[in-house]
Structure 1
Amino acid sequence: MATQHSRSAARLMMAPAVVLLLGWMLIPLSMTLFFSFKKYLPLRGDSMANGLEWVGFANYTRFVGSSAFWPSVQATLTIVGGVLIITVVLGVLLALLLNQPMWGQGVVRILVIAPFFVMPTVSALVWKNMFMDPTNGLLAYLWKFFGTEPIAWLSQASLPSLIMIVSWQWLPFATLILLTAIQSLDGEQLEAAEMDGAPSIKRFWFIVLPHLSRAITIVILIQTIFLLAIFAEIFVTTGGAFGTKTLSYLIFQRVLESQNVGLGSAGGVYAIILANIVAIFLMRIVGKNLDA
């Protein structure tokens, strides 16, 4: 049993890591808040003359009043929702398939998980040039084989294309988590249900799916955290055109392309608020499974 001395020693040893972690989070957040209330245009020259001019909430009003703000929020939530649906549904199906005994099972599992280790920029370039190119892409040749006109995916179906690219990247992660959860399921429950005459659909619905609820919750929470900041795939494929400008990409445009650090910092605060709203919603609706 831990004594007061051992608990004090543990706190003392953990203190440097906690202080470092807090500094790692709080310093950038504090600087973002500071610049969001300032007129800061470092590459235009007038910021040096005016200093860091205090503008109050003008950056926030200007950012949220931009015609691109609400479409960027909608595009962000659409991509996140689409990727979550695809990865969870296909992840469950792939996990069930990979859990069955088959020849070369280990190799198949490695091939399924491999896309997760590909850099987002590389995977986006592969999809853009090898698959979705309307002239030389594999999908274009497939369309021509069936006698139809190839689709310019990244302009005619931009959001579905991005959802497809990002889902391909995150599907292995969901499959790995769900496969681990399925392997922890007690096989005697399924055998007993099968002996009682329960069909496979009911066994999945009443035994397998409830067992996977915690794993599905973890997949949704972790993927949402990363997907809200999606940027590389958009930068490489569409450049924010055709309705694919997410909130993070809009912030990038305001900071680097418009060279307005104050306006971009205000957008960063809005992104933090959006992430917290989504996190609270998920923890209340989906995260209840973690307490089960």
Structure 2
Amino acid sequence: MATQHSRSAARVMMAPAVILLLGWMLVPLVMTLYFSFKQYLPLRGGDLGWVGFDNYVRFVTSSAFWPSIQATLAIVGGVLVITVILGTFLAMLLDQPMWGQGIVRILVIAPFFVMPTVSALVWKNLFMDPVNGLFAHLWKSVGATPIEWLSQASLPSIILIVSWQWLPFATLILLTAIQSLDSEQLEAAEMDGARWPSRFIYIILPHLSRAITVVILIQTIFLLAVFAEIFVTTQGSFGTRTLTYLIFQRVLESQNVGLGSAGGVYAIILANIIALFLMRIVGKNLDA
């Protein structure tokens, strides 16, 4: 049992790391709040003084604000649906004994280690190019007109690209959960005459509920900040401008640090609202 002296020594040793972590988090947050109340234009006069909540009002009343919220939620929701459903299917498939199982698992997980910029470039030029892309050749082979994916189906294209990158993460987590399932339960249910859909709904899916919760929580945090895929492919055009990309445009393209900082505060509020919703609705499985 740890004594009071050992607990105090542990706190002292952990203090530098905790202070560094808090500084790493709080300094950017404080600076964002500070600049959100100022009119700061680096290339057009610099610091022009305090403007109060004017930046917040201008940002939320902008015609691009609510469409960016809708695009953000659409990407998050679409990617979560695809990765959870396909991840469950792939995890169950990879759990079956097969030749070269280790190699197959490595190949399935490999896309997660590809940088988002590289992934977007590959999809843009190799698959979705309307002239020389793989999808264009497949369309032509059946006599159909190729689709200009990044303009005609821009938002589904972004969801497809991001899903491809995050599917290995979901598969890995769900595969680990499936491997911890007691096979005797499935064998007993099969001997009792339960068909595969019943075994999946009443045994496998409840067992995966906590793993699915972890996948949803972690992916949502990162998906709210999707940027590289949009920057490389559509640059926010055709309805793909998310809240993160809108902030980028305000800060770097419009050179309005104050307005962009106000957008950053809105992004923090949105992330916290979604996190609280998930913790209340989905996160209950963690206590089960």
TM-score (ref. length: structure 2) = 0.99
Report Cα offsets for 1:187-223 as digits up to 9, x if no partner.
1111111111111111111111000000000000000
Q: Which residue of 2 aligns with 1:263?
A: 259
The answer for unaligned runs of 5 or more in structure 1 is none
| Inter-partner Cα distance in structure 1 for 2:3 and 2:133 | 66
Say if 2:274 is the partner of 1:278.
yes
Q: Which residue of 1 aligns with 2:182?
A: 186
Q: Which residue of 2 aligns with 1:18?
A: 18
Q: 1:77 aligns with which of 69, 73, 78?
A: 73
Q: 1:239 aligns with which of 217, 235, 250?
A: 235
Report Cα offsets for 1:68-98 as digits up to 9, x if no partner.
0000000000000000000000000000000
- Please give the residue correspondences for 1:221-232 in structure 2 after superposition, counting only pairs within 5 Å: 221-232=217-228
| Inter-partner Cα distance in structure 2 for 1:146 and 1:278 | 43
- Partner AA of 1:89 in structure 2: I
Report Cα offsets for 1:229-264 as digits up to 9, x if no partner.
000000000000000000000000000000000000
Shift of 1:34: 0.1
| Inter-partner Cα distance in structure 1 for 2:99 and 2:21 | 46
RMSD across aligned C-alpha pairs, in angstroms?
0.6
- Partner AA of 1:289 in structure 2: N
Q: Which residue of 1 aligns with 2:37?
A: 37
Q: Which residue of 2 aligns with 1:102?
A: 98
% identical equivalent positions: 83
Shift of 1:43: 1.5
Q: 1:113 aligns with which of 85, 99, 109?
A: 109
Shift of 1:14: 0.8
| Inter-partner Cα distance in structure 1 for 2:196 and 2:130 | 42
The answer for unaligned runs of 5 or more in structure 2 is none
- Please give the residue correspondences for 1:162-181 in structure 2 after superposition, counting only pairs within 5 Å: 162-181=158-177
- Partner AA of 2:112 in structure 1: F
Shift of 1:52: 4.6
| Inter-partner Cα distance in structure 2 for 1:128 and 1:233 | 10
| Inter-partner Cα distance in structure 1 for 2:38 and 2:14 | 36
Shift of 1:227: 0.3
| Inter-partner Cα distance in structure 2 for 1:6 and 1:52 | 53
| Inter-partner Cα distance in structure 1 for 2:82 and 2:176 | 19
Report Cα offsets for 1:37-81 as digits up to 9, x if no partner.
00100122x12xxx4500000000000010000000000000000
* Equivalent residues, number: 288
Q: Which residue of 2 aligns with 1:195?
A: 191
Q: Which residue of 2 aligns with 1:139?
A: 135
Say if 2:283 is the partner of 1:287.
yes
Query: Which stretches of structure 1, 4 residues or longer, exceed 3 Å deviation after superposition?
Result: none
